Amino acid sequence: MEEQNQNIENQKNYLPFSLILSLVIMAFAWIYTNGLGAPVSRQTAAITKQIGSQTEFEERVLPSNGVELPVVWGDLGRRLAESGVMDQEKFEEIYSQRGGINEEERKLLYGADNGRLKITPENSGFLLNLLWGLGLGNKSEVLEEGPMSDPRYGGAGRFASTGGWTAAVGDAMDHYSAHEFLRLTTEQKALVERVSKNVYRPCCGNSTYFPDCNHGMAMLGLLELMASQGISEAEMYKVALRVNSYWFPDTYLTIAQYFKQKGVAWDVVNPREVLGADFSSALGFQRILSQVQPVQGGGGGGCGL
Classify residue 14: in a domain, yes or no: no
- Could you tell me whether strands 67-74 and 114-119 are parallel, antiparallel, or unpaired per DSSP bridges? antiparallel
DSSP state of 20: -
**pLDDT score of 55:** 85
Give the pLDDT of residue 40.
33
Structural domain includes residue 27: yes
Examine the domain organization and report whether 57 and 125 are in the same domain: no
**Is this model's pTM higher than 0.85 or not?**
no
Instruction: Using pLDDT thresholds of 50, 70 and 90, give the confidence band for residue 12.
Output: very low
Q: What pLDDT is attached to residue 66?
A: 97
Following CA atoms 10, 227, 181, 105 in sequence, which dihedral angle do they give, to the nearest 10 degrees? Answer: 100
CB hemisphere CA count around 128 (13 angstroms): 25
Asked if 30 contacts 54 with a C-beta cutoff of 8 angstroms, the reply is: no
Q: Give the percent of the chain with pLDDT over 70.
A: 79
> Do 42 and 76 have their domain in common?
no
At 97, is the pLDDT very low, low, confident or very high (cuts 50, 70, 90)? confident
Type of residue found at 149: S
Rounded to 5 degrees, what angle do the CA atoms 140, 196, 132 make?
60
Clarify whether residues 71 and 135 are in a common domain.
yes
User: Per the domain annotation, does 218 fall within a domain?
Assistant: yes
**Residues 52, 83 share a domain:** no
Q: From the CB of residue 303, how many other CB atoms can be counted at a distance below 10 Å?
A: 14
Query: Both 51 and 136 in a single domain?
Result: no
Is residue 17 included in any domain, yes or no?
A: no
pLDDT, position 54: 65
2, part of any domain: no
Whether the per-residue pLDDT at 15 is higher than 80: the answer is: no
What is the average per-residue pLDDT within 234-259?
Answer: 97
Please give the Cα distance from 289 to 204 (Å, whole number): 15
The answer to whether residue 16 sits within a structural domain is no
Boundary of a domain, candidates 227, 249, 271: 249
CB 9 within 8 A of CB 209: yes
Look at residue 52 in the predicted model and tell me its pLDDT.
45
Which amino acid is located at 275 in the chain?
Answer: L
Same domain for 225 and 165: yes
Evaluate the CA torsion angle 93, 95, 97, 102 in order and state its sign: negative
Render pLDDT for 16-33 as a digit per residue (tens, 0 to 9).
333 333 333 233 333 223
224, 259, 256: which is closest to 239 by C-alpha? 224
Judge residue 268's burial from the number of C-beta atoms within 10 Å of its C-beta, 0-12 exposed, 13-18 middle, 19 or more buried: exposed
117, 71 Cβ separation under 8 angstroms? yes
Summarize pLDDT for 30-51 with one digit per residue, the tens.
Answer: 322 333 333 333 333 333 334 3
Handedness of CA 186, 223, 258, 292 (dihedral sign): negative
Which residues are within 8 A (CB) of 80 and not within 5 positions of it... i.e. 6 or more apart? 86, 130, 133, 134, 137, 181
Is pLDDT larger for residue 119 or for residue 97? 119
Residues 103 and 44 in one domain: no
Domain that holds residue 216: 67-249
% of residues, the chain, pLDDT over 90: 75
Do 156 and 38 reside in the same domain of the chain?
Answer: no
Residue 11 in domain? no
Query: Do 203 and 151 share a structural domain?
Result: yes
Residues 188, 44, single domain; the answer is no
**How many domains, in total, are found in the chain?**
2
CA-nearest of 68, 85, 70 to 181 is 85
- Whether 31 and 125 map to the same domain: the answer is no
Residues 156 and 244 in one domain: yes
284 assigned to some structural domain: no
Residue 293 pLDDT level (bands cut at 50, 70, 90):
confident
Predicted confidence (pLDDT) per residue in 171-212, tens digit: 999 999 999 999 999 999 999 999 999 999 999 889 999 999
